[in-house]
Amino acid sequence: MKPLDILTAPGIGLAVANVDTDQLIPARFMKEPRSVGYGQFLLFDVRRDAEGGLDVDFALNKPGAERAEVLVSRRNFGAGSSREAAVYALVDGGFRCVIAPSFGDIFASNAVNNGLLPAVVEEDDAERLLAALVDVQGIEVDLVEQRLRAAEVEVGFSINPVWRTKLLNGWDDIDMTRQHQGEIDAFATRYAERFPWARAPGAELIGKG
């Protein structure tokens, strides 16, 4: 994954609570291979009017919204089913950060595993950011200092410390485990010496390689 430390990019506000994974990507599109690009399915039904055309008043349909890399929304973003495709749709749509007062637990975990930052802010701060992002505006996301800046608004955000480390370094779970390679090798050696009968003849130590 691409590391994320300080991101300065266009941002857009989606002033809606309870945006669930079914809205983020309708189930009928999940039969498509990821290679087609899931960004085209992001909020597919929500951003259309009753006749099926694009709703010109919807945030993601505004001029310049296609350049946005940061999305600000309201509480309970990513609730609902555990479909990872909801994160794929955001990432393929160009987003690197979603800011909200709260997230669905599985969505947030899936987001981090795909390099998407779920930044948690206070509800009042979310409203301040939404007011600053009435139209597409620049926003700075500082994961090092855990600060957000848009126009005259500056607020802090929270994130699980382990997730922060993964995003700062562009690590997945395997990369995180590899940071302890020396300890793993030492344990494997001690274990093999203590229980030599548990190791198959010719087998390599688990931590090696």
Q: What is the pLDDT of residues 21-70, one digit of tens each?
A: 999 999 999 999 999 999 999 999 999 998 889 999 999 999 999 999 99
**Domain encompassing residue 20:** 6-172
Residues 102 and 188 in one domain: no
The CATH number covering residue 24 comes to: 3.20.19.10
In angstroms, rounded to a whole number, what is the distance separating the alpha carbons of residues 142 and 148?
A: 6
Per the listing, tokens 């300890």 go with 183
Instruction: Tell whether 13 is covered by a domain.
Output: yes
Instruction: Tell whether 194 is covered by a domain.
Output: yes
pLDDT reading at 206 higher than 80: no
Q: Contact, 67 vs 87, CB < 8 A?
A: no
Q: What is the pLDDT of residues 144-185, one digit of tens each?
A: 999 999 999 999 999 999 999 999 999 987 877 887 888 888
* Number of structural domains in the chain: 2
Residues 113 and 32 in one domain: yes
Helix axis angle for 105-113 and 161-169, nearest 10°, is 30
